């Protein structure tokens, strides 16, 4: 745990008592604060009270009877758009500062014992629309494989205040969502990464401008020593332009999978599966990414470029980063190779719940036997038609199976209904060189509680095939 600094004898209110909220309350109490808390769920409040937290209904005037020094809110709770949560509205009316655990983390990260360290700990923060979880996990994996002490947290894994105080030369790698970056009152990463931008959470941010502004705060407010910025969209090019003093300013590392970037002070790009690092007009490293099982497709090559640049920024050697790439297994449910059976590759991309992510998954492989379907989104899969030639056959499951079948038209397909039948049919019909790809292009809620459970079921079925065991239900 990282105790919160500067709260001794203060009364701090915590709104939202999920994973990050409970960790925040504990870190505040460790720092000497008196904590009062609230959650909209009666069940969650009861659990918190059983753990010794004092409750106060922060949505009502009575909850603010005693002076409150600050309100710390969980990231999923809206503070401005589409409208402030009633408890946050109370704080805004009263002039009580509103912050989140990320802000508390950055103001509490340094400690007196750092004076004895040979190398000060550093923080790498990753944000963006797509790929930030994989990029964060890949950076963490590379650091661990090369022997650097490291922890991972934020929007992935452990809440930031539940991390352990860092040791000498440690690198903390944090994934930060727009919900986290838009409110934090302190943002001081050593290295900040922006992967890309595509429409998401627009109601929360009142449009694309607000969404981009929330991401941009990590750079504009944070003042990182090194900015790693994907420049394949206008927003990324604009951000890189804002952060650099000239094209040769190597405090900004541009990354791309669409263009060669040899005219800048420092860049990392990937074209046709080859990663290249350029510095001051010279190519100083090159890596063939095509055979790296855990990083298939252009979208993962962008993640690799971002991770490469981040690890180079903290002093790792190219050969060590390349070696670590090969041992990266990928994140569960994100283009994850589950098994290779008889020359057939089985890939779990259950996280591909929308067209954008399904498009990236289909674009990463050839000779695809595609398992798709579930609670389809508006418009179905018609927009994926340019990728249909990659599909040898589609096996359609769930609520949208018949709608998808109509849109597939002449592309071979079969409505099979269930995951068990899809895996069985794909196994019977696949040939060496094929890839069986679960990329549903749909939400899971018709047959599974979430995409993780859907991916876990697929994985269990494939592993049963690999071992010859009875197929699990």
Residues forming the annotated binding site for ATP? 128-134
Complete DSSP assignment for 211-279: HHHHHHHHHHTT--SEEEEE-SSHHHHHHHHHH-SSTT-TTEEEEESSS--TTSSEEEEEETTEEEEEE
Q: Which of 34, 20, 166 is nearest to 104 (CA)?
A: 20
The dihedral sign for the CA sequence 106, 108, 109, 114: positive
Structure-token pair, residue 213:
């502004």
Between CA 470 and CA 14 the distance in angstroms is: 49
Annotated binding site: 128-134
82: preceding bond cis by omega (within 30 degrees): yes
Strands (E), 58-121: 70-73, 98-99
Phi/psi region, residue 47 (left: phi>0; alpha: psi -120 to 50; beta: rest), is: alpha
DSSP 450: S
Q: What three-state secondary structure class fits 359? A: helix
Report CA-CA distances (Å) from 169 to 122, 180, 325: 7, 26, 22
Complete DSSP assignment for 13-72: EEE--SHHHHHHHHHHHHTT-EEEEE-S-HHHHHHHHHTTPEE--TTSGGGGSS--SEEE
Complete DSSP assignment for 163-214: SPPP-TT-EEEEE--HHHHTT-S----SEEEE------SHHHHTSHHHHHHH
In this structure, how many other beta carbons lie within 10 angstroms of the beta carbon of residue 425? 17
């Amino acid at each position: 745990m990282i105790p919160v600094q500067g709260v001794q004898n203060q009364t701090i209110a915590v709104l939202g008592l999920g994973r990050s909220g409970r960790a925040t309350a504990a870190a505040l109490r460790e720092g000497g604060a008196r904590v009062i808390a609230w959650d909209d769920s009666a069940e969650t409040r009861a659990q918190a009270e059983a753990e010794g937290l004092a409750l106060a209904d922060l949505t009502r005037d009575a909850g603010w009877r005693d002076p409150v020094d600050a309100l710390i809110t969980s990231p999923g709770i809206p503070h401005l758009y589409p409208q402030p949560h009633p408890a946050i509205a109370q704080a805004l009316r009263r002039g009580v500062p509103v912050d989140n655990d990320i802000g508390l983390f950055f103001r509490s990260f340094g400690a007196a014992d750092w004076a004895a360290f040979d190398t000060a700990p550093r923080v790498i923060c990753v944000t963006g629309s797509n790929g930030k979880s994989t990029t964060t996990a890949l950076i963490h994996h590379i650091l661990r494989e090369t022997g650097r002490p490291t922890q991972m947290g934020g929007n992935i894994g452990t809440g930031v205040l539940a991390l352990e105080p860092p040791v000498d030369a440690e690198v903390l790698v944090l994934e930060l969502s727009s919900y986290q970056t838009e409110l934090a009152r302190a943002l001081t990463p050593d290295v900040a990464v922006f992967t890309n931008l595509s429409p998401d959470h627009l109601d929360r941010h009142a449009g694309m401008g607000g969404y981009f502004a929330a991401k941009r705060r990590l750079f504009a407010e944070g003042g990182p020593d090194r900015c790693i910025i994907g420049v394949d969209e206008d927003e990324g090019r604009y951000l890189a332009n804002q952060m650099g003093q000239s094209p040769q300013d190597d405090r900004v590392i541009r990354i791309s999978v669409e263009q060669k970037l040899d005219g800048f002070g420092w860049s990392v790009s990937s074209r046709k599966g080859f990663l290249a690092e350029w510095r001051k007009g010279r190519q100083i490293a090159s890596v063939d990414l095509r055979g790296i099982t855990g990083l298939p497709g252009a979208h993962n090559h962008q993640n690799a470029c971002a991770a490469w640049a981040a690890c180079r920024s903290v002093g790792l050697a190219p050969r060590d980063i390349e070696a670590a790439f090969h041992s990266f297994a990928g994140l569960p449910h994100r283009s994850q190779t589950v098994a290779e059976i008889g020359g057939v590759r089985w890939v779990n991309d259950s996280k591909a719940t929308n067209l954008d992510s399904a498009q990236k998954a289909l674009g990463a492989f050839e000779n695809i036997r595609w398992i798709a379907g579930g609670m389809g989104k508006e418009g179905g899969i018609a927009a994926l038609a340019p990728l249909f030639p990659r599909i040898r056959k589609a096996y359609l499951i769930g609520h949208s199976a018949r709608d998808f079948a109509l849109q597939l038209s002449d592309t071979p397909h079969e409505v099979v209904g269930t995951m068990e039948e899809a895996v069985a049919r794909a196994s019977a019909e696949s040939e060496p060189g094929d890839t069986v790809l679960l990329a549903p292009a749909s939400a899971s809620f018709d047959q599974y509680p979430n995409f993780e459970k859907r991916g876990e079921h697929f994985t269990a079925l494939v592993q049963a095939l690999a071992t010859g065991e009875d197929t699990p239900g």
